[in-house]
Amino acid sequence: MRQVLLLPSLQLLVVLMPLSSPTPDGDALFAMISSWNAQKPSNWTGDDPCAANWEGVRCDINSRVSYLNLTNRGLVGEIPSQMTSLDALINLDLSNVMDNQHMMNRITGDLSAVSSLSNLQSLNLSFNPLNGNFPADVLKLTGLTDLRLENCGLTGIFPKGLVTLGNLQYLYLGNNSMMGDMPSELGSLTSLIELSLWNQSFMSTIIPELSLLVNLHYLDLHDCNLFGGLPVEFGNLINLERMRLDGNTFTGPIPDTWSNMMKLTKLELQQNRLTNSFPSWILHTKNLSTVDLSYNYLYGPVPNITNTTLVTLDIACNYFSGSEPRSDISSFTDSQNCFGDGTYDNRGLCNSLYKCSDFTQEILENGVCPACPPQQILSNKTTCICLGEMVPTDTGQNHLNSHQIGAIVGSAVAALVVLFIGTIIYTFIKTYEGRDKKRKEEDLSDKFKQKFNLQDSHSDWEAPKGIQRFTVEELAKATGDFGLDHEIGSGGFGKVFYGKLENGKEVAIKRSTSTSTQGGSEFQNEVLLLSRLHHRNLVRLEGFCDDNDLQILVYEYVPNGNLHKHLFQQNSGQSFGWLKRLDIAVGIAQGLDYLHSFADPPVIHRDVKPSNVLLDNNLVAKVADFGISRTTREFETHVSTTPAGTAGYIDPQYFLRRQLTTASDVYGFGVVLLELITGQKAIDPSRLEDHNLVEWAKVKMKSEGIQGIVDPRMRDDVPLSIYGRVTHLAINCASFNKNDRPHMKEVVAVLDNVVQLISPPPTASLEHFPGEQNATVINIVMKDEENDPNEGATFNSLLAASKAAFQDSAPTPR
């Protein structure tokens, strides 16, 4: 009877019980989404994420959340404290991908809430504006096997503390701006399978300790400001499949020991300063399919490219000579070398005409030439000339008779007597000349001080590390007392002089005008800021002089002058091809992006134009004439009280509101990009259709398409489909409304994707090469037709995707 009465009671209890109980992980996820002001996924219903199979959530056998993927969810702000409750997490992905269908995450601040997740093995925050130094909290996650912080605006010194993450298999830190030496401690991460550190500011040699990473399959160190020789030890990387070292300044030979990398399929060494002969081992490495050695200083003959596994080989723009090699591979490029008669070398991207038999190189630190052909001579203290052809030897008889021997002995004795007398006379003359030289230098110094009313005193503030403080006397001597024959230009700071220092180093010396209103403390701030700006596409500060009222900045000397000269001066001897123009555009964009996004404080250039873009020996673009006097106050107020810019490149919003922001630089870049495409000047009264290049290009594009505006000097082989997209980008940058212009980071992303259309990405999955997201996520189909009706729409889709990925990531105001 009791059992009968108990049954209805139990049924009533079941009805009153809730269908599911709240779980701590579910509560934490709801709280996190709320803290980020984001909209939860549509199927996040109920209280138990494991029972309801929430989108982006996976659970372990204990019904704890072990996997969380919230990519492209519009998460804004710091990682909330509720994250610590998810202590069973193994995989956390809050990154962004190039996707215009969803809102982008914008995670900022410290990562302390993540550091307590002791079970975490995979962390991906790529394309979030973390900004600042490498997050130390990440170094506490000793169980990590996969760490991805690409495109996060990280600066400061590259962390040696990564050694604590000894379990790492995948490390992706590309497209940040961390600097300092590449730490040898990386060699202790022996579990690494993929390592991507591209586009850093190391300014160091590549560490041979990377050869200890014997499990490595993928290595990407392109555009990292690395120099010195290629480590012979890399031959130990027997599992390496792909290696990118392009865009650095490596010198010396390509080691033969690298032939031991039998699994290597792709090798990219272009745009360095490598010397020595063609590495014949690449023809016999059975898995190697793609090799790029273009834009180096390689010389000598090249064997025929036959019976090889290679599919693609590019050796363009070197100093190879002899007979042009035959090839039976599908893609072989050997243009702009010295094949054939060897009368000249039209290097195109490498600048001007050179004799094929000779080429110059910088002398190494030990005072000798780098690897050269058999003959080499020193032309001055910093440069040697490598002679590609042997000096003819005497083919006559080597036997000497007694009369000849006697003549030689007699001549030798007479020569010794003459040499002894000559030495005495030479010593006397040099002693007198030394005293006279010293007296003249003192006179020059006194004359210079009187000219500028200077005293023998120096400021007592400490110069930034790595920047040399020069005396007035040193710089006066280097420039011939700042003579007119040394004057090479003028900029916003003052006149620019060519100088050669005592050690033979060539420099560009900018002396402030006498009317400069910049005070001593402002100049010190200028030097401090400029000393912290290190990027391949910015002109580097070498030193300064602050003797009393005189303020002088000493920069690296960029030998090939400015872009304006090469584009518009009739006798410049330079007509760029379409690929070089695209390369220059990418360089300018990367330099400006660094100033806007990674400089601390951010820098507005204010006067982006071709004459402020210098070209080095390899025609790499370097942005010049920027500084702190153009930034700090304007970043606080958004208002400039000083005229800025040059007619044709000035932001029209500046005229209306006197507001100067990073968008003003974007406008100037858009005009420069149009000049590169069209070969025409920003303002040209002789252009009857429209004096203003931007308006002229818009009209021409509508009526004639890209072929109506492209520079005739490169029309024959220019890929119109690609240049159509680049033109759309330029016009977007030069939009009248500043809010319609992309950020420079978005511009870089678009140009990178365009460049990838020229060199298709690897066929491997995105998961295998996530460092190439920009190239692989957006699928753009190339059209053969010159007038592609969808060209503008395709470009707008690309720009929209780039905008979404970087939305509000730049710390600078618009």
Catalytic residue among 48, 246, 583, 607: 607
What is the pLDDT at residue 485? 86
Q: What is the DSSP string of 280-345?
A: GGGGT-TT--EEE--SS--EE----B-SSS-SEEE--SSEEEESPPPB-SSEEE--SSEETT-S-E
Break the chain into its structural domains and give their ranges: 59-178, 468-556, 638-805
pTM above 0.95, yes or no: no
Residue 185 near residue 207, CB atoms below 8 Å: no
Distance, in Å, from the CA atom of 441 to the CA atom of 478, rounded to the nearest integer, reads 11
61, 231, 478, 753, 792 from 505: Cα distances, Å? 67, 27, 10, 38, 48
Give the Cβ contact number of residue 224 at 10 Å: 25
Phi/psi of residue 369, each to 5°? Answer: -70, 155
Q: Which CATH superfamily is domain 638-805 in?
A: Transferase(Phosphotransferase) domain 1 (1.10.510.10)
- Told to judge if 481 belongs to the known catalytic residues of this protein, a careful annotator would answer no
**Among candidate residues 306, 301, 354, the one with its CA nearest the CA of residue 330:** 306
* CB distance 740 to 732 below 8 Å: yes
The pLDDT of residue 610? 93
Which candidate, 119, 125, 126, 127, places its Cα nearest to that of 145? 119
| Predicted pLDDT of residue 792 | 52
DSSP letter string, 608-625: -SGGGEEE-TT--EEE-S
Asked if 734 contacts 670 with a C-beta cutoff of 8 angstroms, the reply is yes
Count Cα atoms within 13 angstroms, Cβ side, for 716: 3
In the prediction, which pLDDT does 618 show?
A: 79
Read off the tokens for 217: 């399959």
Facing residues of 387 across strands? Answer: 358, 375
The enclosing H or E element of 542 equals strand 541-545
- pLDDT less than 50: residues of the chain: 1-20, 100, 342-355, 357, 371, 373-375, 379, 388-426, 428-433, 436-445, 447-458, 514-517, 573, 628-643, 760-790, 805-814
Residue 510 labeled ligand binder: yes
Residue 504 to residue 383: CA distance in whole angstroms? 9
The whole-angstrom distance between residue 31's C-alpha and the CA centroid of its chain comes to: 40
Q: How far apart are the first and last CA of the chain?
A: 81
Determine the pLDDT at residue 283.
94
pLDDT at 594 (0 to 100): 87
The CA distance from 231 to 209, in Å, is: 9
pLDDT digits (tens, 9 = 90+) for 588-627: 999 999 888 877 778 888 889 999 999 988 788 999 888 6
pLDDT value at residue 799 = 60
213 and 187 Cβ atoms separated by less than 8 Å? yes
Q: Which fold has domain 468-556?
A: Phosphorylase Kinase; domain 1 (3.30.200)
CATH class, domain 59-178, is: alpha beta
Q: CA torsion angle for 137, 139, 141, 143 (degrees, to 10)? A: 170
Question: For residues 265 and 288, is the Cβ–Cβ distance under 8 A?
Answer: yes
How large is the greatest C-alpha to C-alpha distance in the chain, in angstroms? 145
